[in-house]
Structure 1
Amino acid sequence: MQRQSARGAIGARVLNVAEKPSVAKEISRVLSNGRASAREGTSRYNKVWEFPYEVRGRRVTMVFTSVTGHLSNFEFADDRHRRWNGVDPRELLVNAAVAKRVPEDKRQVADNVKREARGCDSVILWLDCDREGENIAFEVLAACREANRGIAAFRARFSALSRGDADRALTNLVEPNQHESKAVDMRMELDLRLGAAFTRFNTLALQRAGVGLPVDDKGKSIVSYGPCQFPTLGFIVQRKWDIDAHVSEDFWAIKCSHSREGTTTQFEWSRGRLFDRAFASALHDLCVRANSATVIDVDGQESKRWPPHPLNTIEMQKRLNRVLRISPEQIMKIAEDLYNDGFISYPRTETDKFPNDFDYDGTLREMHQHPQFGFYVERLTTGGQFRRPPGGTKDDKAHPPIYPTKLATDAQYAQMRNKNHNAPKVYEFVCRHFLATCSYPAVALKTHVDVDIAGETFRATGVMIRERNYLDIYGPGPPEGPRLAPTYDNWGNSTLPVYTPGEQFVPTLNLHEGSTRPPDYLSEVDLLSLMESHMIGTDATQAQHIEKVVGERGYARKVGDNRLMPTELGEALVLAYDRMGVADMWLPTKRAKMEADVDAVAHNRMDPNAGLRLHLQTMLQAYDRVATDENMLTNTVGSYM
Structure 2
Amino acid sequence: MRTIAILTTKHAYATQITQALGEDSYTYNVRGIPVIEIKWNNTLYKITYFSGHLMDYSYVFPQKKDIKYTDFLSRPIKMQDKESEATYLLESVIPKSDLVIVATENTPEGDCIAVEVAKLVSKMKYSIPVKRMRCNTFSYRDIKRNLFNPESIEQSKADSYNVLMMLEHIYQNVLTYQLSNYLSKKTRDHIGYFVIDTCQIPLLNLILEHEEAIEKERINEKWSIFGKIDIGNKIGVVIEPIENVFSSKQEASGRMKKIKSINTVATVQHIENRIIRIAPPKPLNFASLMTECGKHLDISTNEIINVLQELYKLGYISYPFTNEQEYPIDFDFLSPLKEWTLFKKRFTTICEKILENGSTYRGTSSRKTTPIYPCRPLAMQHDKDKKMQGVFSIIFRHYAGLLSGPFEIEQQKISFSVGNENFYCINGTILNNGWTGTYIFDLIELRSPLNCVPGDQFPLKKIGMSKIKPQLQPFSYFDIYTHAHKESSGFNTTKIIENCIRRGFLSRSQKNLKTTSLGKEIVKLFQKNVPIITSFNIRNSFNLLSLDVLSSKKTFDDAINQGIHLIELVSKSIILNENKIQENLEKILISPEFQIVGQCPKCKKALTVKQYTDPDGELRRFVGCYGYPECKNILSIPKVGTLEIVGLCPESNLPMFIVHTEKRDYKWGLGKGPCFQCKNENCQEQKKETKSRIIYTPNIDKEIELVSSLVEENS
Contact 1:292 1:506 (C-alpha < 8 Å) held by counterparts: yes
Task: Return the match for 1:608 from 553, 556, 565.
Answer: 556
| Superposed displacement of residue 53, structure 1 | 4.4
Whole-Å separation in 2 of the counterparts to 1:180 and 1:353 = 19
Give 1:128-167 correspondences, 5 Å limit: 128-142=105-119, 150=127, 152-157=129-134, 159-167=136-144
Cross-structure match for 1:508: 461
| Superposed displacement of residue 16, structure 1 | 1.4
Residue ranges of structure 1 left out of the alignment (5+ in a row):
1-9, 215-220, 476-486
Give 1:322-337 correspondences, 5 Å limit: 322-324=295-297, 331-337=304-310
Contact 2:283 2:402 (C-alpha < 8 Å) held by counterparts: yes
Cross-structure match for 1:424: 389
Q: Is 1:303 aligned to residue 251 of structure 2?
A: no
Whole-Å separation in 2 of the counterparts to 1:269 and 1:235 = 36
Whole-Å separation in 1 of the counterparts to 2:486 and 2:72 = 34
Cross-structure match for 1:4: none
Cross-structure match for 1:574: 523
Cross-structure match for 1:24: 14
Cross-structure match for 1:338: 311
Task: Return the match for 1:49 from 10, 14, 36.
Answer: 36
Residues 298-307 or 427-436, more deviating:
298-307
**TM score, norm. by length of structure 1:** 0.80
Contact 1:92 1:196 (C-alpha < 8 Å) held by counterparts: no
Cross-structure match for 2:489: 537
Whole-Å separation in 1 of the counterparts to 2:201 and 2:126 = 43
Task: Return the match for 2:242 from 270, 282, 287.
Answer: 270
| Superposed displacement of residue 205, structure 1 | 0.8
Task: Return the match for 2:47 from 59, 63, 66.
Answer: 63
Residue 249 and residue 187 in structure 1: after superposition, are their counterparts in 2 closer, same or farther (change >3 A)? closer
| Superposed displacement of residue 277, structure 1 | 6.6
Tell me the secondary structure at the aligned position of residue 577 of structure 1.
helix
**TM score, norm. by length of structure 2:** 0.73
Residue 409 and residue 614 in structure 1: after superposition, are their counterparts in 2 closer, same or farther (change >3 A)? same
| Superposed displacement of residue 618, structure 1 | 1.8
Residue 361 and residue 551 in structure 1: after superposition, are their counterparts in 2 closer, same or farther (change >3 A)? same
Whole-Å separation in 1 of the counterparts to 2:215 and 2:333 = 51
CA deviations on 1:308-339 (whole Å, 9 max, x unpaired) are 34434443233223322556665454333322
Residue identity opposite 1:63 in structure 2: I
Residue identity opposite 1:181 in structure 2: A
| Superposed displacement of residue 282, structure 1 | 4.6
Residue identity opposite 1:338 in structure 2: L
Residue identity opposite 2:193 in structure 1: I
Tell me the secondary structure at the aligned position of residue 152 of structure 2.
coil
CA deviations on 1:99-127 (whole Å, 9 max, x unpaired) are 656556x6896476356357564531111
Q: Is 1:98 aligned to residue 74 of structure 2?
A: yes
Q: Is 1:180 aligned to residue 150 of structure 2?
A: no
Give 1:24-423 correspondences, 5 Å limit: 24-31=14-21, 33-38=22-27, 48-53=35-40, 59-66=43-50, 68-76=52-60, 81-82=61-62, 86-88=63-65, 91=67, 93-96=69-72, 98=74, 102-103=79-80, 110=86, 113=89, 116=92, 119=95, 121=97, 122-142=99-119, 150=127, 152-157=129-134, 159-206=136-183, 213-214=190-191, 221-243=192-214, 248-249=219-220, 251-259=222-230, 261=233, 263-275=235-247, 280-289=252-261, 290-324=263-297, 331-368=304-341, 369-382=343-356, 385-390=357-362, 395=365, 397-414=367-384, 417=385, 421-423=386-388
Whole-Å separation in 2 of the counterparts to 1:556 and 1:280 = 39
Cross-structure match for 1:589: 537
Whole-Å separation in 1 of the counterparts to 2:348 and 2:570 = 59
Residue 36 and residue 635 in structure 1: after superposition, are their counterparts in 2 closer, same or farther (change >3 A)? farther
Contact 1:568 1:640 (C-alpha < 8 Å) held by counterparts: no
Contact 1:18 1:66 (C-alpha < 8 Å) held by counterparts: yes
Identity %: 18
Contact 1:15 1:116 (C-alpha < 8 Å) held by counterparts: no
Residue 396 and residue 317 in structure 1: after superposition, are their counterparts in 2 closer, same or farther (change >3 A)? farther
Tell me the secondary structure at the aligned position of residue 527 of structure 2.
helix
Query: What root-mean-square deviation, in Å, do the aligned CA atoms of Structure 1 and Structure 2 show?
Result: 3.5
Higher-strand-fraction structure: 2
Whole-Å separation in 2 of the counterparts to 1:381 and 1:511 = 51
- Structure scoring higher RCO (CA < 8 A, sep ≥ 6) equals 1
| Superposed displacement of residue 204, structure 1 | 3.7
Contact 2:172 2:196 (C-alpha < 8 Å) held by counterparts: yes
| Superposed displacement of residue 20, structure 1 | 2.3
| Superposed displacement of residue 284, structure 1 | 2.6
Whole-Å separation in 1 of the counterparts to 2:50 and 2:153 = 17
CA deviations on 1:438-475 (whole Å, 9 max, x unpaired) are 21333333223322222112212223334324322211
Contact 2:280 2:405 (C-alpha < 8 Å) held by counterparts: yes
Tell me the secondary structure at the aligned position of residue 159 of structure 1.
coil
| Superposed displacement of residue 264, structure 1 | 1.9
| Superposed displacement of residue 387, structure 1 | 2.1
Residue 590 and residue 544 in structure 1: after superposition, are their counterparts in 2 closer, same or farther (change >3 A)? same
Contact 2:230 2:458 (C-alpha < 8 Å) held by counterparts: no
CA deviations on 1:461-507 (whole Å, 9 max, x unpaired) are 223334324322211xxxxxxxxxxx2x2223422553443232331
Cross-structure match for 2:435: 470
Whole-Å separation in 1 of the counterparts to 2:296 and 2:426 = 27
Residue identity opposite 1:491 in structure 2: I
Tell me the secondary structure at the aligned position of residue 105 of structure 2.
coil
Task: Return the match for 1:557 from 495, 507, 510.
Answer: 507
Residue ranges of structure 2 left out of the alignment (5+ in a row):
590-715
Task: Return the match for 1:458 from 423, 442, 456.
Answer: 423
Whole-Å separation in 2 of the counterparts to 1:598 and 1:638 = 38
